[in-house]
Structure formats: C-alpha cells, structure tokens
Amino acid sequence: GVESIGDTMAGLTGEQIAFYKDEGYLLLDECLPPEAYQPLVDEFNAVIGQKAREAYALGQLERLFEDAPFERRLAYLCEALGTDKRFVGEILGKAHKTAGLFFLLTHPAILNVVESIIGPEILVHPQFNIRAKMPGEAEVLWHQDIAFLDPEVEKTFMINFWVPLVDTDVENGCLEILAGSHKHGIIPHDPADSEKEIPEDRLPPGDRVLSVLPAGGAALIQHKTIHRSFPNESDHIRWSLDIRYSDYRLPTGREEVPGFVARSEIDPGRVASGHEDWIRIMEMKG
C-alpha cells in the first residue's frame, strides 16, 4: 500500500538517515502506532488505580478519580494527597521491566528505524527513563546525554529516542534541540542541583528546534546533541519515554548495568524473547 509520510515500519529513508547524522536530530510525527504503546499505558493505569485504592482504603483520599484520563489522573491524585515525587517514583518504578515496556522497546516500528541506521545487531541500552512531567514541573537545563555516561561511549553510535505518550508542545514541556550541536565534542557541564547543565555562553551556534509531536511520535537525537525541555505549564502530565539503542558489541557507558539484545543476525540466540529474559539478565548482573 501507499506509505503514509512518517510511517517507519520500513525504517528510515536514506534522506532521513543523512539528515539525522548531519543535524544530530530527526523528528518523526509517526513512530509508534497506538497499539505499540497502549499496553504500557494500560499497565500505568492499573498501577495508578491500585495506588489510588490503597490510599482510599487508608482514608487518605475521598475519591478515586476513576473517570480522569491518563494524562490527568496521577496529577489529581498527587494534588489530593498533597504528595511529592515519591508517589510518582513508586508508580514509575513498578512499570520497569514489564511486558508492556518490553513490547514497546522491541516493537518493529522502532527496531526497524534503529536497524536502518546502525544495522541488525541491536542492544536496548540499559539507561532509559519513563517520565511523568507533572503540571508545574520545572525545565530540564541544556545538556548532552553523554554527560551522564562514561566518556568512553563517545565512539559508540547511540540512537536516543524521546517518545511522548501524549501530544506535546511548548506549554506541556516538549524538547528544544540545538541542531548540529553533536559535532562539537563533549562540552563541559556545570553541576546544577542534582543535574548538570551547559551554560548559555558555552552553547555552540545552531538552529533551535522544538519537538512538538503527537503521541507516538519521536524525536531522535544523538548522545552529544545538546537539548533541554521546557517547564510543564499545562494542566496535564507530559508522559514520555527516553530510550536508547546501540550495537551490543560496543561500550554503553553504563557497563555495570546490562541492557538486552533486541535483534541479532550473527547470534540470534542472544535475543531476549520476553520481559522475563530481561529481568533474568538484570538479576544475573545484580
């Protein structure tokens, strides 16, 4: 059939790959179809519902907010409980290494994009984040992802996906990406609270690009691409994933934490077949 523009099941085009390598980023309006991320959203909704019922049983809540949509319910619960990031952290912690997350991470729509860039020997990188950016949550300062990894990883070509699970714009805290900034090496970061930041006067010149994307779209960057995210000034949660892929034969910069192999032509026996394999790999290392 006719490919829709941005349909990634066939991987990227040569032009898209050249743009990504040259500019250090690529925006895809369609990367993951809803059926790829809905199982993960269902898992979140189940955990949020369970937490709400526990708090209700303890008399901490007067209502369960069962009618609230995915992008609002957790915010309403936090507000009603007068609670902080711990509650959110517990919920996100429960979603790690689940069947829904494994399904998303290994979905052909995303692996075909990765394979079109780096070939078929693919590791799901051990450093990934699930983010529920709450209403009122602050900006994330200018940085390179490599600043949080061992610098030996500079030679590894790593594909970093930022995947929103809700529609994103400047108001709810999308990314701002500095085009071409991956060509300037590792730039010194200053410590900033628990974070790291590149001050404005150290930023190389370049166009600033906004990752205004629908749910299931993706912003691809590289580990030296400088980017930040805006504060969430909306009334709903900006749910998103940061996930990374690289060739499993190369350093990850997080050698103490294992990833798992999602595809391999030369050693198919290494490929993790389900989230149980992933958990087992983690436990063997731990």
Residue 246, helix vs strand vs coil? strand
Predicted local confidence at residue 1, as pLDDT: 34
The residues, any chain, with a CB within 8 Å of residue 278's CB and separated by 6 or more, are 97, 102, 260, 272
pLDDT in tens, the chain (286 residues): 334 444 557 899 999 999 999 999 999 999 999 999 999 999 999 999 999 999 999 999 999 999 999 999 999 999 998 876 677 888 887 667 899 999 999 999 999 999 999 999 999 998 889 999 999 999 999 999 999 999 999 999 999 999 999 999 999 999 999 999 999 999 999 987 778 899 999 999 999 999 999 999 999 999 999 999 999 999 999 999 999 999 999 999 988 888 999 999 999 999 999 999 998 888 887 6
The Cα–Cα gap between 192 and 179 comes to 23
Residue 141 Cα distances to 36, 134, 144, 235, angstroms: 30, 16, 10, 22
Extents of the domains making up the chain = 14-34+98-285, 38-94
Q: What angle do CA 207, 216, 30 make, to 5 degrees?
A: 70
Predicted local confidence at residue 191, as pLDDT: 86
What CATH topology corresponds to 14-34+98-285?
A: Jelly Rolls (2.60.120)
Residue in 146, 160, 165, 141 with CA at minimum distance from that of residue 230: 141
Model pTM above 0.75: yes
The Cα–Cα gap between 117 and 1 comes to 24
> Looking at the chain, which runs of residues are DSSP E strands?
25-28, 122-124, 129-133, 140-143, 159-164, 175-178, 190-192, 195-197, 208-210, 218-221, 227-229, 238-246, 260-263
Query: Which residues sit opposite 164 in a β-bridge?
Result: 240
Strand-strand pairing, 195-197 and 227-229: unpaired
Predicted local confidence at residue 267, as pLDDT: 97
In contact, 195 and 140? CB cutoff 8 Å: yes
